[in-house]
Chain A
Amino acid sequence: MHDRSQNTCKIVIAGIGGQGVVFLTNILTEAGIAANIPAASSEIHGIAQRRGSVVAGITFGENTFGFIEEAGADILIGLEPLEAMRCISYLNRASRAVIDDNRQLPHSINTGKNIYPDVDAFIGFLKSNIVQVIFNRTFDANAPSVLRNVYILGRAATLEGFPLPVAAIEETLERRAKKGTVEEAKLTFRMGLEFQSGGDDVGH
């Protein structure tokens, strides 16, 4: 946690409109309330949907209001690598990150006007400079892609110092997942939580 004396924790979630950044934000804040931790969040949405960049901040602890300053994030959850890169100035040397290698090509890259930046170099940089990195490279091809964010949440919950108890998250998923997908959502969360990393995907 960023500031033990003040017991606060700040999480940045980066992704693109439609990936479920807002959904995860709501899960985290509600799980915080369920665990009796003061929680707040802030996001920009509305026009940012339609596959544009979306960033959200979640803060736990007194006297925080969902806002995150430069180098102020304890945890970065990157649902998309390029968007995670865009949030690099929120990180500090004590940060931890989960980055999902779920690349979504913006139009200018699709047409060849730009190239997608080097994700491996970015992950390498993070591994050398922050405390813990989880780089997720897989997701079951049979699982619904709309639950991918829940899977990543599961992986994030294994980060050291993750501020929420797993039970609070599962309880919130029960209450907030879309009708008919509750069991799948809880299962997918568990899958992320219990994923045994090996090979490429290394936290340290």
Chain B
Amino acid sequence: MITPAEILASYEPPHKFCLMGNEAVARGAIEAGVRGVFAYPGTPSTEISETIRRASEAQRRAAAPDPIYFEFSVNEKVAVEKAIAYSLGGRSAMCVMKAAGMNVASDPLMTIPYQIIGQPLVLVVCDDPGCFSSTTEQDSRYWGKMASVPLFNPSTPQDAYEMTLEAFSLSARLKMPCILRTTTRVSHSRGVVGIGSITVIVQPPGFIKSPQHLNIPSRTAAAHRDLLAKLAGEDVGKSQQRTTKHLTVLRGNDGSEDGLGIIASGVAASYANELIARYRLQDTLELLIIGIIHPFPMQEVLDFLKCGFSKVLVLEELDPIVEDDLRLLVQKHNLKVEIFGKGFAGLSTVGEYSLDIVRTALTEFTGIEVERPSPLPLDDVKALVNSLTLRPPTMCPGCSHRATYYALRLAIQPERTNLVLCGDIGCFAMGAFAPFQMIDTIHHMGMSVSMAQGISEALRSGGAGQDKTIALVGDGTMFHSGIPSLLNAVHTRANIMIVVFDNRTIGMTGHQPHPGSESPLDALQVDLKSLALGMGVEFVEVIDPKDIAVSYRVFREAWERRGVSLVISQSPCVFLPEFKDKMDVMKRVVVDPNLCNTCGNQEDSAIVCSRCATPESNLNKARAKLTALKTIPALEQRCPANICNHGFFTALLNGAYGEAIQIVRDKTLFVRVCGDICPRPCEYLYREKGAPVVPIRKLKRFVAGRDDFFLNVQLVRKPEPNGLNVAIVGAGPAGLSAAYDLVRAGYNVVIFEKEQVPGGLLRSVIPDFRIDKTGYESEIAILDQWGVRFEYGVELGRDMTLEELSIGFSTVVLAIGMGESQALPVIEEQVPPERRSDAISFLKKFNSGASPIQRGASVLVIGGGNSAIDSARAAIRDGASEVFIAYRRSRADMPAFDEEIEEALSEGVKIIYNTVISAVTQSSERLSVEFSSFSDGRPSGIHRYDYVITAVGQKGREEAFASAKLPLSAEKRIIADEATGRTSLRNVFVAGDVCAGNHVSLIGAIAGGKRAANGIRAMLEGYPFAYEGRKALEALNANPRTGFRGDDGVDFATFDDFSRLISEYYITQPCRQCNHCIENFGCPALLMVNGKVVIDDSQCTRCGLCIDVCINDAIHWAAPDEASFKREVILSADS
């Protein structure tokens, strides 16, 4: 089987062949005997270069004599210079470039016509009307006039072939270069081309010396005259004759002046040709096709006009070059003919022409209505088509540029800063699109480095505080035109960071080599890093963008330092053998649907989650995952109330304090008091002592202390009332928590409270110096607003019985707490009432400002729980001269929270251990208290006090529920089912301190209330989910002692401290609100199907990067028997 390249290179090919315009040019050049081709890749010209390159290789393989030399030069200027030199060395040459390439090569182009070349030289430039892939739609035909060089403009592939031969022939005769200019449509359309054979032309090498090689001012005027004379001469005249075609000759030169003529050039001529044939307009129109644009074929046009036309229509894309030359000619010769061109019938200088545009023009020009085929009955097709989702080009799966952008985005956070990212031309420029949108400027090749230093300089000299600017450039472009700009930056001490997107190839045009990449030719590979260091760049690092952690670090470092920093992000393009050879097709990547977009906090997805996951917030998580010093699984910091610590922490990472508070409120109303006094089981239940934990309570206190977000409680979904009634007895935190969950589930809730205000012991007994109660009252008021009915001054047992309640309501929650103090007989009996108090009564009085402690009094507190500590600290604040706590066991046995003990000690409270009171006597005004050792009963001293407070335990009011005969624990607390909080009575639940086994703490009460609410829902509605916090609650209840974690040593009074603290940590947990990989990474192989991400195996290139990107840890390499996503699923999914 012969390859196309072999055919194109062969000496005796088949006569007719279907060729692309570009291939036709290549064949023409080969037949013309070109010996060296110097090119730079550029759409739409690249196929010319590639065809010649492969033909050259085919010739070498076939050991042909004198095979063509081919190179991709560093840029178009060098290509043209080297081609000129090659020609002067006695060998025919050709250059191939896109439109913008001639701009780069314009210096040698402009100069050489004043001199001479050796063997023929043809410069091929390809324009792009309609800007399919170019920076402008410039009309390169002007180069003919501008440089005074013959310029050919073919209309079809056959034309392109013939004109290439003509250009070489003319170049040989004139000894100056000729330009062949095509457009995308001609370059990329295919047609049958009749081609010839290759004749071997001997071209002996050698530079012939001549004074014409010296371009010095004394020569230029004469050279200019000679140049113009060449263009007016016979050789050009012959070319003009051969390339100007008069079609559809109808009439002789009868001189009548009422005919219609068309003069066309380029692809517009093909449109005219097709339409004239289709609609049989040969009897009406005569067509002249112009192939040579400069010098304008005046004679041929004049001959054409002699046919006698009243009107002539000019059809050419882009600028009216032929039209203007025609008008000039007509005016000079005083001809009577009306000329139509740009502006007529919608013919525009902007964009391409089409069959439709030309048909409209012909219709209007001839007045003949041409029959149109019947279109489909769509009212407004254009609007419909315009409404279709656009599909811009996007980086391939596995593209290394995507990895670079991802790491760069994490490192420099462009969405948060004002910094400018200056981009360039190439595949990586797709980073301007979603999801990255990380480019602010794109101009022309090489502009990135210049733009960055220019903006930086403007900012600096204008006095801006921050002048670091970033340049983003591809490896190909860097070698093409970035080097001089980099040199300038170094030399002028610019303050810029340059990121080279080095995918080891010139990608966009089809993976051509450049000096820094591997090359199939025997070429020396240039090391960009060494080049940069040699130039004087102080910071140059090469990174593998697939190593996100290292890339992140290097980007940060490069960004933060002053001066020129260069980061070369190097990883092969997926099309290269360097990538493909390493790709293991047998390895597959899969997403675990149980982790992707799945809530790790609760099973019931209907439970409101207030996390606002935006792409930016997910980026913050990704960054924290990468940079945190302490990463802790959220499973190891679980809360008995199942507050989502992951969501809470993530909200703080995003600076979203309101959201953080709202996330706590998804589970419990009481944010501030938790921040104050929670014993923080999340910080000690699951982690070993000494292991890092996120200081949740500290963070909660910080955030909850902010008034601006505090009362922003959203009732996210107003629930439908379900007609079920619940009675809750006790308006302490347990009862209120049950109410909170039930009212949100649509229940009608009534709370009975024996006091006149809600809040329980938290409000009346715990002192103000321990918790901030202002928030607490407002939080409780929210329940009011949501329709919870409070009945105050109603006491269970006295005003109503449990039985009555359980009949009158669907269910009852008993949350009456343990509001009574246990008595200590020795004190009860031996101390007069005015000199003693139980802790609860004392603290109630203290809180209402009526403390019985006198200033200067000496106070004894008996007991070791929180009430004892609170009482002691209250006494200190009352101005007591000394406060002692006597506890019967050791410090380690004290039930009080360790930090409370520490606080008390720091305030001057003294604690005596292993001590009980054996007797008290009154002497003068004071009490004499006899202590004895608890362990062996021996007396240990007598001390004098003015006041005694007993804090030896709490108990419930048994009489409240005695009639119900509920099973009780030893401490007279009601026994209930651990999973639901239900008692032996069918519809009576307990929560809080009164429930046996419930941890005596705020969080224990909250969790107990929520558990009871859950149990009620299960019973009455068949709610299928177990209480979400059950595991943590069980762990808490099994561990009655609180563990003192030890302070982190950081108290963040300031926001900076806070930021520093949270930047050290990351709590990891799968989250339902994700889509991070799709929104922030955007690999096309990641598809969203039915709310989960799946990997399209047919697109995946196994780069494995998504595994690192996923913040839910949901993506992994597939086990051999693990199934991949099947594409057919898309057809039935809701897309």
Contact = CB atoms under 8 A, between A and B. Distances in A.
The range of chain B's interface size is 35 or more
A48 B510 CA distance: 11
Interface string A85-112: 1101101111000000101111111111
A111 B1079 contact: yes
Contact of B270 (A67, A82, A108): A67
B376 A82 contact: no
A52 B392 contact: yes
Contacts of A47: 43, 132-133, 393, 508
B133 A46 contact: yes
A88 B274 contact: no
Interface in B387-407: 388-396
B246 interface: no
Contacts of B17: 33
Contacts of B1128: 138, 141
Interface stretch (A37-45, A158-166, A184-192): A37-45
A26 B19 CA distance: 10
Given A40-B192, A46-B46, A47-B133, A111 B389 contact: no
Given A110-B1078, A175-B1, A46 B1084 contact: no
B618 to A, nearest CB: 12
Given A88-B381, A92-B375, A103-B1135, A50 B270 contact: no
B83 to A, nearest CB: 23
B72 interface: no
Interface string B1110-1135: 00000000000000001110110001
Interface string A151-192: 000000000000000000000001100010000000000000
A2 B373 contact: yes
A72 B372 CA distance: 9
Interface string A2-42: 11001010000000110000000110011011000011111
Contacts of A108: 389-390, 434
User: A6, A40, A46, A141 — which one has the most chain B CB atoms within 10 A of its CB?
Assistant: A46
Interface in B592-635: none
Contacts of B185: 42, 67
A63 B247 CA distance: 13
B435 A44 contact: no
B221 interface: no
B1098 A89 contact: no
B18 A106 contact: no
Contacts of B1131: 101, 103, 137
A72 B996 CA distance: 84
Contacts of B427: 50
A114 interface: yes
Contacts of B376: 71, 88-89, 91-93, 129-130
A191 to B, nearest CB: 17
Contacts of A195: none
B416 interface: no
A26 B18 CA distance: 9
B278 A106 contact: no
Contact of A114 (B189, B191, B270, B389): B389
B156 interface: yes
Interface string A115-157: 1110000000000011000000110010001000000000000
Nearest to B130: A44
Contacts of A174: 1
B850 interface: no
Interface string B995-1032: 00000000000000000000000000000000000000
A107 B17 CA distance: 40
Interface in B258-285: 267, 270-271, 273-274, 277-278
Interface string B4-25: 0000000000001110000000
A49 B511 CA distance: 12
A106 B389 contact: yes
Interface residues of A, number: 73
User: A50, A71, A108 — which one has the most chain B CB atoms within 10 A of its CB?
Assistant: A50
Interface string A43-68: 11111111111000000001111111
Contacts of B274: 63-65, 67
B184 interface: yes
Given A29-B190, A39-B192, A89-B382, A69 B1086 contact: no
A50 B132 CA distance: 14
B188 A89 contact: no
Given A47-B43, A92-B373, A82 B132 contact: no
B1087 A110 contact: yes
B216 interface: no
B1130 A103 contact: yes
A118 B835 CA distance: 85
Interface stretch (B161-169, B353-361, B772-780, B979-987): B353-361
Contacts of B1078: 110-111
A90 B683 CA distance: 67
A64 B189 CA distance: 11
B509 interface: yes
A43 B186 CA distance: 10
Contact of B391 (A8, A64, A82): A82
A86 B373 contact: no
B1126 A112 contact: no
Interface in B501-518: 508-510
A48 B1126 CA distance: 27
A83 B375 contact: no
A65 B271 CA distance: 8
B234 to A, nearest CB: 33
Contacts of B189: 40-43, 65-67
Given A41-B189, A65-B191, A89 B1084 contact: no
Contacts of B372: 71
User: B374, B376, B430, B1082 — which one has the most chain A CB atoms within 10 A of its CB?
Assistant: B376
B356 A69 contact: yes
A75 B1127 CA distance: 27
User: B356, B359, B1126 — which one has the most chain A CB atoms within 10 A of its CB?
Assistant: B356
Contacts of A94: 373-374
A85 B341 CA distance: 34
A101 B388 CA distance: 17
B44 interface: yes
Nearest to A74: B373
B1097 to A, nearest CB: 9
12 contacts: A41-B189, A50-B395, A51-B393, A65-B273, A66-B191, A69-B354, A71-B373, A82-B391, A89-B381, A106-B389, A107-B433, A107-B1084
Given A65-B271, A91-B376, 8 more contacts: A17-B393, A39-B192, A42-B185, A51-B394, A51-B1084, A65-B189, A69-B355, A141-B1128
Interface of A: 2-3, 6, 8, 16-17, 25-26, 29-30, 32-33, 38-53, 62-72, 82-83, 85-86, 88-89, 91-94, 101, 103-112, 114-117, 129-130, 137-138, 141, 145, 174-175, 179
Interface of B: 1, 16-18, 43-44, 46, 132-133, 156, 184-185, 188-192, 267, 270-271, 273-274, 277-278, 354-356, 359, 372-378, 381-382, 384-385, 388-396, 427, 430, 433-435, 508-510, 1075, 1078-1079, 1082, 1084, 1086-1088, 1098, 1126-1128, 1130-1131, 1135
Q: Which 3 A/B pairs are nearest by Cβ-Cβ distance? A: A46-B43, A47-B133, A52-B393
